[in-house]
Structure 1
Amino acid sequence: MENQLENIIQQVWHKEKRNLFTFLTGAGISSDSGIPTYRGIDGIWVKGTQFHKPEEFGTLRYFRQHLEEVLQYSLFRKKMFENAFPNQSHYDLADIETQLQDRFHLITQNIDNLHRRSGNQRIYEIHGNNREIKCSNGCKEILELPTEIKGKNLDEDLTDHDKELLTCTQCGHWMRPNILWFDEYYDEKTNKKFSALKIAKNSGVLFIVGTSGATSLPIAIAETALKYGAFIIDINTEDNNFTDLIRNKKKCFNHPGKINRSIESDKNDY
């Protein structure tokens, strides 16, 4: 497989068109940083005596019914992300970007900011991020979460000052995290949908790292890359939603194993 990877990288490097090196990452790449997956058992939100699955509370509908609770959870996640550190996979991707410059693109489903903290800049956060907020009533501006709003422990409620800072100055409605919830659709403004698909179309190779492809846009990215002739390298430890898509395809390969080790191996080929 290592010789195949080297040959693929050399082929893509010498192409004049559709020659981007694109990485699509998910929660698995942050697992070594101690961040649990959103859908896993650690993603269950416990409030009082109630246990909520992400598919229930991670929705715009639930937010409108339980505003403060969802914002409290978002600030709990903020503290978790701030206390985590990028791992070797993040730093390897930052190193690869340094080498490839504008031939490198990173499409991530993660909202944890670890790619940015490790040094990556050409990032498309297709599920939004935990750094920003926007009006839940549809006012257009996307804002940085005020620095005065701190991360919370599980048992900490919003303060009056938090509530003031989380009120839209244009319409008076609550602000919300700038992330994609389960009952929402991908768009360009928050999710860079069309930019991500354009990158996929112009990719020479797509590396799929630490994601099972449980949502529609990551699958569409892989389908688009495949349609326009890209190599696809699936770096995941288990079969996933990409497995059937790339099975028996001439330019698609599974590269199972530890994510850190796989990226480190690929990096040496650039």
Structure 2
Amino acid sequence: MKEQLAKIIKEVYSKKNRNLFTFLTGAGISADSGIPIYRGVDGIWVKGTKFHKPEEFGTFKYFKENPEEVWQYSLFRKKMFENAHANESHKEIVEIENLLQDRFHLITQNIDNLHRRSGTNRIYEIHGNNREIKCSNGCQAIEYLPAEIEGKDIDEDLTEKDIELLKCKECGGWMRPNILWFDERYDEKTNKKFSSLKMAKNSGLLFIVGTSGATNLPMAIAETTLKYGGTIVDINTEDNLFTELIKDKKNKIIIRETSTEALKIIRELLENIVKE
């Protein structure tokens, strides 16, 4: 595996066109930071929404009917994210960005802000993020969540001040988290849909780290990279939907190790190639 990786990394690094190194990350990369994945028996949806399926609770429709409940849960997640720390995988990605500079891009499905806090700069957050809010009625621009609003315990209600700060100054309606819910479509403003696909088109290497491919834009990113001749490196501890996509392709490498182990190898290989 290491020899195969070294060969393709060197080949892409020497290219003049379609020479980007793109990393696509998901919930698995934050698991070592103590943030549970979204699905499964130990997932954040199961623990945080005992009486709801993710596809019911994590929707714009449910928010419009139950805004305070959704905000209470969002602020519970805010507290969880703020108490978490970037792990070795996040730090390895920062080192890789430092080596590659503007040939590096990170596309993440995570809203936890850990990539940004660890020092990564070239980030496309395709599921939005937990730092920002926007009007649920569609008016006003995206803005930061007011600093006065603090994270909550799972059973802690919104205060009157929280509610006041979470109302749109223009129409009086509820502001909402600037994230992608299950019943919403990807767009460019919040989700960088077209920018991500353009990046995929120009990627000589797409590293898929800690994500299974359960949503359609990440899968479209992988398909686009393949279509234009790029190679996919599937770094997950188990087979997944990306594995199914690439199983019959020549331009693929499948790595069944932890993200930290695999990223360390990639970083070391890049260090050697950049020095040459």
TM-score normalized by the length of structure 1: 0.97
Alignment partner, residue 191 of structure 2: 191
The answer to whether residue 247 in structure 2 is matched with residue 268 in structure 1 is: no
Partner amino acid for 2:31? S
Q: Which runs of 4+ in 1 moved over 4 A?
A: none
Which sits farther off after the overlay, 51-60 or 100-109? Answer: 51-60
Which runs of 5 or more structure 1 residues have no equivalent in the other structure? Answer: none
| Cα distance in 2, alignment partners of residues 259 and 223 from structure 1 | 22
Q: 1:67-82 maps to which residues of 2 (within 5 A)?
A: 67-82=67-82
Alignment partner, residue 208 of structure 1: 208
Closer/same/farther in 2, CA of residues 46 and 200 from structure 1, 3 Å limit? closer
The answer to whether residue 85 in structure 2 is matched with residue 111 in structure 1 is: no
| Cα distance in 2, alignment partners of residues 230 and 140 from structure 1 | 39
SS of structure 1 residue aligned to 2:196? helix
| Cα distance in 1, alignment partners of residues 6 and 114 from structure 2 | 28
Q: 1:88-237 maps to which residues of 2 (within 5 A)?
A: 88-237=88-237
Alignment partner, residue 274 of structure 2: none
Which sits farther off after the overlay, 35-44 or 218-227? Answer: 35-44
Alignment partner, residue 44 of structure 1: 46
* Cα displacement string for residues 195-249 of structure 1 (whole angstroms, at most 9, x for unaligned residues): 0000000001000000000000000000000000101100011110111110121
Alignment partner, residue 28 of structure 1: 28
* Cα displacement string for residues 167-195 of structure 1 (whole angstroms, at most 9, x for unaligned residues): 00011100000000000000000000000
Alignment partner, residue 83 of structure 2: 83
Q: 1:44: how far off?
A: 1.9
Which runs of 5 or more structure 2 residues have no equivalent in the other structure? Answer: 271-276
Q: 1:260: how far off?
A: 0.5
SS of structure 1 residue aligned to 2:188? coil
* Cα displacement string for residues 4-59 of structure 1 (whole angstroms, at most 9, x for unaligned residues): 10111100000000100000000000000010112233322557xx6112111100
Are the aligned partners of 2:48 and 2:73 in contact in 1 as well (CA < 8 Å)? no
Q: Name the structure with the higher helix share.
A: 2
* Cα displacement string for residues 82-117 of structure 1 (whole angstroms, at most 9, x for unaligned residues): 000000000000110011100000000000000001
| Cα distance in 2, alignment partners of residues 140 and 20 from structure 1 | 35
SS of structure 2 residue aligned to 1:158? coil
TM-score normalized by the length of structure 2: 0.95
Are the aligned partners of 1:81 and 1:112 in contact in 2 as well (CA < 8 Å)? yes
| Cα distance in 2, alignment partners of residues 25 and 96 from structure 1 | 14
Closer/same/farther in 2, CA of residues 46 and 109 from structure 1, 3 Å limit? closer
Q: 1:259: how far off?
A: 1.0
Please give the root-mean-square deviation of Cα atoms over the aligned residues, in Å: 1.0
Closer/same/farther in 2, CA of residues 127 and 10 from structure 1, 3 Å limit? same
Partner amino acid for 1:90? H
The answer to whether residue 17 in structure 2 is matched with residue 17 in structure 1 is: yes
| Cα distance in 2, alignment partners of residues 75 and 214 from structure 1 | 25
Are the aligned partners of 1:128 and 1:179 in contact in 2 as well (CA < 8 Å)? yes
Are the aligned partners of 1:45 and 1:51 in contact in 2 as well (CA < 8 Å)? no
| Cα distance in 2, alignment partners of residues 46 and 32 from structure 1 | 19
Are the aligned partners of 2:204 and 2:231 in contact in 1 as well (CA < 8 Å)? yes
Identity of aligned pairs, percent?
67
